[in-house]
Structure 1
Amino acid sequence: MSLRRGANINFFCAGKTVAHYTIDDLLYLMARLRDPQSGCPWDIKQDYASIAPSTLEEAYEVVDAIEKQDFVHLKEELGDLLFQVIFYSQLGKEEERFEFAGVVSDLVAKLIRRHPHVFPDGTLHSRIDNRHTLPTDVKARWEAIKQQERAEKGARGLLADVPLNLPSLSRAAKLQKRAASVGFDWEDVYGPIAKVREELLEVEAELDSGDTKALEEELGDLLFAVVNIARYQKIDPEQALRIANQKFEQRFHYIETHAERSLSETSITEMNRLWEQAKQH
């Protein structure tokens, strides 16, 4: 059976015909949604900035599904995230800036360029025996290539292209990792641990001073030092904090559901007792 490019395929499943759509169908759908005359009024009004918050939300929902091992919904969440790329690509096409095909082509070219140990001739179909290549060698080469790309783009300084709108914990880890790539790093994990102790003392000192602005700065330094411990141990600080948040939610929910009275009428002693019970559970 031959199919024209972009045609959807129909499957017969459980007595029903189920349409199987392609990426071309998705691109067509997006163009229809943005059609000035027959499209969706909401989609027509959107621009890059207005859908950016949704992009972040969809990315977090993908991560949430992975962390919950909710693979039933992971496919759906990945589709929602892909739709964000399709939406931006449609905006780019309308403004004659770029199209989805260009996004894909540039991505493939970049990945080929960054994986010379897989594509030795710099072409998609070139191959090499890679069984004895060490992951550490791959990582070092990857960072060197990325640094060269940053220089070619005119980035001023090693930290210049670290996105400002990353979550602060993630950006701190990225800044530290980038600096460590040229040797600006602690000798071992006990360096940042000592720094945490030092910053905690400075936080305590500012608590007594009453200077809120100075306290804010010292708290930032403390958090930055904690991130350094996580980064040194190859732990994602965002993920570590998400786990802590989830753990707090579960334990606090236990208190809510096991308290004999409303929480406003429950003593702190009783809440602490239930908290310890929650930890055991």
Structure 2
Amino acid sequence: MHSRQEQLKAVDRLLTVMDKLRAQCPWDKKQTIASLRHLTIEEVYELGDAILDNDLEEVKNELGDILLHIVFYSKIGSETGDFDIADVANAICEKLIHRHPHIYGDVTVNNEEDVKRNWELLKLKEGKKSVLEGVPKSLPALVKASRIQEKVAGVGFDWEQPQQVFEKVQEELGELQEEVREGDKDKIASEFGDVLFSMINYARFLGIDPETALERTNKKFTKRFQYLEKSASDKGKSLQEMSLDEMDVYWNEAKKQG
């Protein structure tokens, strides 16, 4: 691994490259904070894919892309006189020091839950009116549900045992089935949302990230379905020409392969 001096030199090199690109490259000169937003979101998702694939080389590359964006935003901020990379780094340092009084102060904690609870309480003392203010509105619904549940649990609004949460899941499933029998689409959608929300909460109690779990299933399904497509093609058939029983044979073969 590189020394701290080498690490700082590499960051300085990136800042220098960014200065030159911003001054000389037509595309880079044109960018604004707003125009970079969707690209940054895309880069974060690409990092997420690399993490799920456990591709550390790609994780390194995607982290570089995200670091570039941080430097890019900071460069634009310096041009408007609002902030630069030093302001960005110092701001997060101050926040971390303030929210870790058990490290930088005289607060005592016993476990991770104490740390998370203190974190949320400190944010309220900083002027936030709700612990949910820190949940981005643009988050995908599944991720947002996880963050909402983590936030409220951080101030003690939570179940005590996983079994209680599982019972809530069963209760919500019963209510969903009842609305399905009634046939009101709006009420069905509402109850379906409740089922998903309770399942996400149950995942938290099991120590499982629901977004990661679902994406792994997406990848598994895709891999098996593509095996099914290839098997059909090898037999000179299209899926439309095959019966479900024929498809099941190849699907079960795919399942055996993982």
TM range (shorter): 0.7 to 0.9
State the alpha-carbon separation in 2 of the partners of residues 21 and 141 from structure 1.
34
- 1:268 paired with 2:244, answer yes
Aligned-residue Cα RMSD (Å) equals 2.6
Q: Select the residue among 167, 170, 185 that pairs with 2:143.
A: 170
- 1:81 paired with 2:66, answer yes
State the alpha-carbon separation in 2 of the partners of residues 65 and 71 from structure 1.
7
| 1:124-203 alignment, distance < 5 Å | 136-152=110-126, 154-203=127-176
State the alpha-carbon separation in 1 of the partners of residues 184 and 79 from structure 2.
52
State the alpha-carbon separation in 2 of the partners of residues 29 and 75 from structure 1.
19
The alignment-based identity, stated in percent, is 42
Report the counterpart of residue 234 of structure 1 in structure 2. Answer: 207
Local SS of the residue matching 1:34: helix
- 1:33 paired with 2:33, answer no
User: Letter of the aligned partner of 1:80 in structure 2?
Assistant: D
- 1:93 paired with 2:78, answer yes
Report the counterpart of residue 188 of structure 2 in structure 1. Answer: 215
State the alpha-carbon separation in 1 of the partners of residues 250 and 58 from structure 2.
34
Local SS of the residue matching 2:114: helix
- Give 1:272 deviation, angstroms: 2.0
User: Letter of the aligned partner of 2:175 in structure 1?
Assistant: E
User: Letter of the aligned partner of 1:30 in structure 2?
Assistant: M
Q: Which runs of 5+ in 2 are unaligned?
A: none
- 1:225 paired with 2:198, answer yes
State the alpha-carbon separation in 1 of the partners of residues 10 and 198 from structure 2.
47
User: Contact 1:196 / 1:225 at 8 angstroms: preserved in 2?
Assistant: yes
- Give 1:139 deviation, angstroms: 4.2
What is the number of equivalent residue pairs in this alignment?
249
State the alpha-carbon separation in 1 of the partners of residues 238 and 16 from structure 2.
54
- 1:280 paired with 2:230, answer no
State the alpha-carbon separation in 2 of the partners of residues 182 and 222 from structure 1.
23
Q: Which runs of 5+ in 1 are unaligned?
A: 1-5, 9-19, 122-132
- 1:48 paired with 2:36, answer no
User: Letter of the aligned partner of 1:34 in structure 2?
Assistant: R
User: Letter of the aligned partner of 2:22 in structure 1?
Assistant: R
Name the one with the larger helix percent: 2
Q: Cα gap change, 1:156/1:115 in structure 2, threshold over 3 Å: closer, same or farther?
A: closer
User: Contact 2:50 / 2:58 at 8 angstroms: preserved in 1?
Assistant: yes
TM-score, normalised on structure 1?
0.79
Q: Select the residue among 74, 93, 103 that pairs with 2:88.
A: 103
Local SS of the residue matching 2:207: coil
* CA deviation map 1:217-252 (0-9, x unaligned): 222111101101101112111111111111111111
State the alpha-carbon separation in 2 of the partners of residues 95 and 216 from structure 1.
46
Q: Cα gap change, 1:212/1:252 in structure 2, threshold over 3 Å: closer, same or farther?
A: same
TM-score, normalised on structure 2?
0.85
State the alpha-carbon separation in 1 of the partners of residues 248 and 167 from structure 2.
31
User: Contact 1:115 / 1:142 at 8 angstroms: preserved in 2?
Assistant: no
State the alpha-carbon separation in 2 of the partners of residues 89 and 204 from structure 1.
52
User: Contact 1:114 / 1:142 at 8 angstroms: preserved in 2?
Assistant: no
